[in-house]
Structure 1
């Protein structure tokens, strides 16, 4: 594998001119008459989208963001014939643990900018890490796959090869559920790359329920979890586990079971058709992403229906994430991962098989999918568990201190128990 330095580029003048032109000449879609009861039920409303469009046009400065991003060490590596972009920030601390941070959709590497320094430097005297943040193939500044078959297993193999090439033959893997594909790929790596990967930290564990029909061995390994699950089938999930948890495995494209599954149904079946609108229209791209950053984030104000983004996600940070997709034209290639995963051999599923390496789970209240702790324990080797009072699908942006502390705590546990040297 060849590795070379990389710098975040300026937006080419012609592309910037085209962006400004499109933002200046927006055709906004027809909507229902303004009605406070509608909120976000139909998707991203104009009153939330238009101010962000105006900020992108008049206030946002890509060059300012680019200078900040280029303070980190960026590289390109050739992996399986594709140029893969990644940040590599080694720590100067002798006990630092190699750490792989992976994004998902609709995110990119920039989501982690708040956590790089404190994790690298071991802020407050805590565990430090050699921080590696790749852009998944087809995301941001990583080259897009040119042929079918780049699903979870392929991406996991590539990320493992990257870490080995960097010299991290035994490394600690962190996976961000807010970047949900990072959690999916990491789960696969934790099960299939355990010679190198010695710890797994996840904010979105995707779990199979403790059903004795599909997993008879649980009858003697986790009998209490099985009984509780069977009772929930009789009395109802909420009566047994409380509200806010999934009754079954997260419905990938089942709108009846999960109203949030619409985007997955489209991207998992016909990503090409959707991509024309998201590639040609910067406003369409912004609105498609905004709906997810709005719906999947924690709104501490309690006024979710009346605000576009919570105070924890700034306009500039959101527009930087959007601009990376726009300038690289990567929305189309990023959504193809849904198709590949949806059509991948089910033996590759992240829910197939137990994670045996030490695992830490942190479940934020506004996360997309939350599972009971006893479900989690039947799926992973759980060594650390926490449920913060705030935070959502993008904790590296929303609640970075909570996330950093949880990762540092798990890193220290790995060291103390000598699960990682």
Structure 2
């Protein structure tokens, strides 16, 4: 497919004052119940009412979007048109002459901003550690990027325009990729032979299909719990069993948003399009569930920044589309053919057993498990993510020589 020939244009984050003021008026005018409709109903029924009210109060009284803008504009932002997508991205270059280009890719309900704490760690590392030129795009339909230009726009399409961003627009002959959530799916595409400029990857929670041997253990669910746990303990490690347990709870109690967005994305998209408190309830719940609980108390401003970004850029509706457009892609058996590692954080979801990953992806070379962090490691534990990326770069620097 032909690429648009526009060059990157400098971009500043500037939301009109009247739009910010209107957001605050709507937040203030939004009615919430005085109490839950059922006695003692809390997170087991959805978002907790007191938690929601507490964040709304902080949003109204202590949150300053203009201060957020100043922080965002400390980085260099650009837009460029690729395949009719006006793509927003941060491009923060290192002063190190041998720095490795890297693209960091977010998912839902994330944004480019979840990486702002890790950028400086990568571009200006301690002496002797690998340095990076960091590129952080907003996925089409997220933040300051325009929506996908057509139906059936997949993570494979995102991989194609991101590769062109790195090679055709920015001129990097080789680069590294990192991603979680939808970013992990994009990284998986970049890790195939189709994109030779991408040399190696760090993929958070890479996907892999269950082998036949694993499927044969499904009848274990009919056994008493103690027997089932004993049998699985003979097959999987303690870490993998914990992954299974967390994924099982997510499948049982946390998939409601996924089903809605994978089947009727525009219904919830239109319903919350002009409701900042509604967006806070819908995606704030995901932060509560998938952020390390010890780190969560310090995430209030980050959560409100993310929700404000979705609302003020009017992209909540388009951010739901990838679930609908990529349901089939989630079952594709792509094989990563480049060396890649994986970072594991205990409060993330979607981690499959390493035996499955190694069977499907023979180029898997490194697993780094951590005892802190969740679904947004770039914000939650930036030092750990930076160390993982530097570890991969140290081992595969020769690919850039």
Is this a same-fold pair by TM over 0.5? yes
Inter-CA distance 88–256: structure 2 relative to 1 (3 Å threshold): closer
Q: Deviations over 1:343-370 (max 9, x none)?
A: xxx4x54751321210111111111112
Counterpart in 1 of 2:47? 44
CA distance in 2, matches of 1:152, 1:118: 28
CA distance in 2, matches of 1:137, 1:24: 31
Counterpart in 1 of 2:316? 331
1:316 shift after superposition: 1.6
2:379 paired with 1:375 = no
Which of 296, 312, 335 is the aligned partner of 1:310? 296
Contact 1:138–1:333 (CA under 8 A) maintained in structure 2: yes
Contact 1:194–1:357 (CA under 8 A) maintained in structure 2: no
Counterpart in 2 of 1:65? 68
Contact 1:244–1:370 (CA under 8 A) maintained in structure 2: no
1:34 shift after superposition: 4.5
Contact 2:112–2:137 (CA under 8 A) maintained in structure 1: yes
CA distance in 2, matches of 1:124, 1:285: 43
SS at match of 2:81: strand
Which of 336, 345, 353 is the aligned partner of 2:334? 353
Aligned pairs, how many? 381
2:139 paired with 1:157 = no
CA distance in 2, matches of 1:64, 1:124: 32
Contact 2:11–2:79 (CA under 8 A) maintained in structure 1: no
CA distance in 2, matches of 1:287, 1:269: 20
2:385 paired with 1:403 = yes
Measured on the aligned residues, the alpha-carbon RMSD in Å equals 2.3
Inter-CA distance 256–24: structure 2 relative to 1 (3 Å threshold): closer
Which of 359, 363, 368 is the aligned partner of 2:344? 363
Counterpart in 2 of 1:270? 264
Contact 1:185–1:350 (CA under 8 A) maintained in structure 2: no
2:22 paired with 1:28 = no
SS at match of 2:102: strand
Inter-CA distance 106–39: structure 2 relative to 1 (3 Å threshold): same
Counterpart in 2 of 1:304? none
Counterpart in 1 of 2:16? 12
379-388 or 187-196, larger mean C-alpha shift: 187-196
- Give the TM-score, by structure 1 length: 0.85
Counterpart in 2 of 1:214? none
Which of 285, 294, 298 is the aligned partner of 2:288? 294
CA distance in 1, matches of 2:87, 2:322: 16
2:198 paired with 1:197 = yes
CA distance in 2, matches of 1:353, 1:23: 44
CA distance in 2, matches of 1:203, 1:332: 25
CA distance in 1, matches of 2:127, 2:43: 40
Counterpart in 1 of 2:223? none
65-74 or 25-34, larger mean C-alpha shift: 25-34
SS at match of 2:199: strand
290-299 or 12-21, larger mean C-alpha shift: 12-21
Which of 58, 81, 84 is the aligned partner of 1:81? 84
Structure 1: gaps (5+ residues)? 212-225, 301-308
Inter-CA distance 80–236: structure 2 relative to 1 (3 Å threshold): farther
2:319 paired with 1:319 = no
Contact 1:100–1:133 (CA under 8 A) maintained in structure 2: yes
SS at match of 2:177: strand
CA distance in 1, matches of 2:206, 2:137: 21
CA distance in 2, matches of 1:257, 1:321: 25
